[in-house]
Structure 1
Amino acid sequence: MNDRPPGLTARGFPHAPPTRYSRTQQQVKPSGTDTPAPHTAPGLGDPGRRRHSAPESSTRSTRTHFTTRGNRSPPKPTKGATLMTYATNLSTTDNNGKIMLDPEQVHDILVRPFLAQSIASQVTTPVTIDGHTNKVRFPILVSDPQVGWTAEGEEIAQGTPKFDQITVTPTKVAGLVIQSNELVNDSNPNALNQVGQGLVRQITNSVDAAFFGPTLAEPAAPGLEAATTAKVTATAATTFDWAEEAIGLAAGRGYTINHFVANPADAVTMALVKESTTSSRGLLQADPAQPSVKTIGGVPLLTSPHVKAGTVWALPTMAANLVIRQDANVVADTSAFFTSDRTAIRATMRVGFGIVAPDAIVKITLAGA
């Protein structure tokens, strides 16, 4: 007679609940018996552990997670890491031979150095939009709401401000570097660093050239030369009266000039201008907060080779936006150049310019230009 309570085994232990086994953990029952498979050591088939494992899918996923050796997550870029050294440290690729970095890694080795090096990013307001957004709209206040003196107890007259808007569609700027696998795997890291820095510099130069230089053909984003800006003409090369005039024009429109940007050759000429014929002190003064930066009328003077010689731009930071989409990416591919034993590293960003107050930006033409 069986006197044990229901639900208990012969040894007094409760029956384990039904368990779904993964393919690698499934126990094989002896032929001709319904006895459950015996317990094994923890981690090798223990039901308490197995009941928490997810059932195996009927179809195997084709998605590949990009990890380093040992199936660990890719390491975070260390301080000073560059695009090339970090990309070549990844060893696991997908079925097409590609290595992709996640958005945080791309920001550290591509977007952050770009923002630090680009003069356009320093004189505008950077705006980041979602990678799934194709365009962004910026409202422009055409006229302020009307206000007036109102007696106590009287109705306040309604004022309706007028708005316009501009639409910015970021377009792609990309760089591609192709290197032999011997260089990638065996060379001094400094050589790889230089290649990676050159790729970031290539993108930076493309963006700055579009912003400061002549208007480029599509798909390049239209820059300052395409905008209807205020204009000042310098009457003498030995004074900086043009700077004060530009500051005044922007102030009349409710903006403050935050930077002057000139061609490096013109900046050297300005640096040689003295206070007087009997003084060796230059008119350009060092910024107390950044001694390496010169100022004109208290406004920092930056340089860019993409500014036309004889031209100086006076820019309020709030007058223009630098739009960057979040889908910047870096991909290393060994398949495209498999037969020549080379690796291609591609970096792409989508960038646009939103100039919301062109009449507060001043284009200055130097004397003799």
Structure 2
Amino acid sequence: MTFNTTENKGLFPDVTSIEPVQAIPDALIFTLAQNAGVIKGDSQTARIAYVSDDADADYYKEGAKIEAKAPQVSELIVPTKKIAIVTVASNEAYGNDGVPGLLSKSLQNSIIKKADRAFLSEAAPAEGTVGTTGLANLTGLADGGTLTDSLDPFIDAIATCSQNGGTPSTIVMGFDSWAYLLKLKDKNGRAFIGADVANSATPVLFGLPVVLNGQAAAGTALVLDTTQILCSHGNIELAVSEDAFFSNDATGVRVTFRFGFGVTRPNRIVKIKVGATANN
């Protein structure tokens, strides 16, 4: 007797592979990082080449020999991790119109939330455990000081990023930090952040777009040069099994996503503590 995968969906459920930039386009690893390639299979490490030091241009006289100069190429080793979620619905519920779509949307939101937390704020994993270190907890970030009663630390952070060779492109913070900034007022009681910025769906401070995300580290703002953040990822794998939960008369839906990211020059990311009691 031949044992075929098509004969037992409990052991071999159908799997759909989805390009993540289509399934979860709002995840920050796609909007705030540079895609450095797709992970094939279940590879746990991405090796990403990048130019760590550009060759210097120089002046030459007409007809003079131009010396060849090579840029310095380095390698960023990015450990990747898999995030996954399984949900189960009774067959009666799963058979109703619209329920599969609702479950898919819920799982999609769960993956985005976890990926954003991993990208922005997760603490370094303990030795021997699986996890990712978020941007706010990386070592080597430029210190932007503490913001308490003015927006000046953002001006200084933008300058620091530039002085370190970066191009400031984005400010990222949580809604708690944004609320703190909105409450700041001058000696005459006028808010530092005007109503046009405060009420905008896409606020801008000092020419940089502000990305607000609930998974950002509390009491923290980051001024980013997003060209320094590289990510590698696999596809989102969606599997549905009608037999795995046979005894429950239920259908299981599983979603997995493997990704990783790294920063080439951490000192081009500036971390600002927001609020007098910020302790991040």
- The TM-score normalised by the length of structure 1 is 0.65
Contact 1:329 1:349 in 2 (8 A): yes
Any idea what the Cα deviations from partners look like across 1:181-218, whole Å, max 9, x if unmatched? 111013x62x5544322211222222222222212344
Q: Which runs of 5+ in 2 are unaligned?
A: none
Contact 2:15 2:240 in 1 (8 A): no
Instruction: Tell me whether 1:141 sits opposite 2:51 in the alignment.
Output: yes
The separation in 2 between residues aligned to 1:346 and 1:146, in whole angstroms, is 51
Alignment-mate amino acid for residue 8 of structure 2: N
Contact 1:250 1:362 in 2 (8 A): yes
Instruction: Tell me whether 1:298 sits opposite 2:223 in the alignment.
Output: no
The one of 258, 261, 267 aligned to 1:350: 258
**Range moving further from structure 2, 277-286 or 121-130:** 277-286
Aligned match of 1:323: 232
The separation in 2 between residues aligned to 1:349 and 1:273, in whole angstroms, is 40
Q: 1:251 to 1:268 in 2, by over 3 A?
A: same
The separation in 2 between residues aligned to 1:273 and 1:198, in whole angstroms, is 37
Instruction: Tell me whether 1:174 sits opposite 2:84 in the alignment.
Output: yes
The structural deviation recorded for 1:255 is: 2.6
Alignment-mate amino acid for residue 107 of structure 2: L
The separation in 2 between residues aligned to 1:176 and 1:143, in whole angstroms, is 44
Q: 1:130 to 1:216 in 2, by over 3 A?
A: closer
The separation in 1 between residues aligned to 2:68 and 2:191, in whole angstroms, is 60
User: What secondary structure is seen at the aligned counterpart in 1 of 2:104?
Assistant: helix
User: What secondary structure is seen at the aligned counterpart in 2 of 1:286?
Assistant: helix
Aligned match of 1:340: 248
User: What secondary structure is seen at the aligned counterpart in 2 of 1:115?
Assistant: coil
Percent identity between the two aligned chains: 21
The structural deviation recorded for 1:273 is: 2.4
Q: 1:192 to 1:60 in 2, by over 3 A?
A: closer
Q: Which runs of 5+ in 1 are unaligned?
A: 1-58, 65-93
Contact 1:275 1:283 in 2 (8 A): no
Any idea what the Cα deviations from partners look like across 1:233-263, whole Å, max 9, x if unmatched? 13x5231111111111222233322221112
User: What secondary structure is seen at the aligned counterpart in 2 of 1:137?
Assistant: strand
**Range moving further from structure 2, 328-337 or 119-128:** 119-128
User: What secondary structure is seen at the aligned counterpart in 2 of 1:199?
Assistant: helix
The one of 3, 11, 14 aligned to 1:100: 14
User: What secondary structure is seen at the aligned counterpart in 2 of 1:312?
Assistant: strand
Ranges of 4+ aligned residues in structure 1 off by more than 6 Å: none
RMSD: 2.9
Name the structure, 1 or 2, with higher relative contact order (CA <8 Å, separation 6+): 2
The separation in 2 between residues aligned to 1:182 and 1:335, in whole angstroms, is 14
Q: 1:146 to 1:128 in 2, by over 3 A?
A: closer
Instruction: Tell me whether 1:242 sits opposite 2:162 in the alignment.
Output: no
Alignment-mate amino acid for residue 334 of structure 1: E
The separation in 2 between residues aligned to 1:130 and 1:259, in whole angstroms, is 27
The separation in 2 between residues aligned to 1:204 and 1:62, in whole angstroms, is 35
The separation in 2 between residues aligned to 1:119 and 1:145, in whole angstroms, is 31
Q: 1:145 to 1:313 in 2, by over 3 A?
A: same
The one of 105, 112, 119 aligned to 1:204: 112
User: What secondary structure is seen at the aligned counterpart in 1 of 2:24?
Assistant: helix
The structural deviation recorded for 1:335 is: 1.8
More strand by proportion, 1 or 2?
2
The structural deviation recorded for 1:340 is: 1.2
User: What secondary structure is seen at the aligned counterpart in 2 of 1:204?
Assistant: helix
Alignment-mate amino acid for residue 95 of structure 1: N
- The TM-score normalised by the length of structure 2 is 0.83
Matches within 5 A, 1:246-265: 246-265=157-176
The separation in 2 between residues aligned to 1:120 and 1:132, in whole angstroms, is 19
The separation in 2 between residues aligned to 1:335 and 1:140, in whole angstroms, is 47
Contact 1:323 1:354 in 2 (8 A): no
The separation in 1 between residues aligned to 2:224 and 2:204, in whole angstroms, is 14
Aligned length: 271
The separation in 2 between residues aligned to 1:195 and 1:176, in whole angstroms, is 10
Any idea what the Cα deviations from partners look like across 1:46-77, whole Å, max 9, x if unmatched? xxxxxxxxxxxxx999464xxxxxxxxxxxxx
The separation in 2 between residues aligned to 1:323 and 1:207, in whole angstroms, is 13
Instruction: Tell me whether 1:125 sits opposite 2:34 in the alignment.
Output: yes
